[in-house]
Amino acid sequence: YLANKCSMASRIDCFSESLSSVFGEHLREQVEERLKFYETGDVPRKNAEVMKAALEERNAKMKEETKTKKRKLDELINDGEEMTEV
């Protein structure tokens, strides 16, 4: 089970266009939930639920990073225009 989750995380990292630890963190949480299941009997979340949550979180982070990069680019462009006007 643990090897399966590690393999999935490494494949996602390898073939992903952007680096993110979101999938690995969610898979780690899933392994911890499985261990709790053996101790207490609490049913862990399904893999599809975990991957959906991880994908939504990664998309939100990427969207925020894109906004930040765009804002920085706009600031650089505006600063460059001010420098040429002086």
pLDDT of residue 42: 92
Can you tell me the distance from the alpha carbon of 8 to that of 27, in angstroms, rounded to the nearest whole number?
Answer: 8
Extents of the domains making up the chain:
2-61
- Residue pair 13/24 in contact (Cβ under 8 Å)? The answer is yes
Q: What is the 3-state secondary structure (H, E, C) of 18-47?
A: CCCCHHHHHHHHHHHHHHHHHHHCCCCCCH
CB atoms within 10 A of CB 39: 7
Give pLDDT, residue 85.
Answer: 61
DSSP 73: H
pLDDT at 76: 80
Global confidence as pTM: 0.71
